[in-house]
């Protein structure tokens, strides 16, 4: 009896250069995700610093009244 093929990635034998390209692409994707996290962290830190600066500015203005 014939069996239905298994769904998912077909099992094809790729050459080493294809495996390396896939590995490199996955590594590049991981690097992009890491860079995006670092940018998000830097943005958050900048917002926190802006809030601190604004609070200090308000306090200084109130102190001169």
Residues 6+ apart with CB under 8 A from 64: none
**pLDDT at res. 19:** 95
Tens of pLDDT, residue by residue over 6-61, are 566 666 788 999 999 999 999 999 999 999 999 999 999 999 999 999 999 999 99
Dist CA 65 CA 61 (whole Å)? 7
pTM here? 0.64
Q: How far is CA 50 from CA 39, 45, 54, 58, in A?
A: 16, 9, 6, 12
């Amino acid at each position: 009896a014939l069996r239905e093929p298994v769904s998912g990635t077909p099992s094809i034998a790729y050459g080493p250069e294809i495996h390396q390209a896939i590995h490199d692409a996955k590594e590049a994707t991981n690097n992009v995700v890491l860079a995006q996290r670092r940018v998000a962290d830097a943005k958050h830190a900048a917002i926190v610093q802006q809030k601190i600066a604004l609070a200090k500015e308000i306090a200084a203005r109130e102190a001169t009244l």
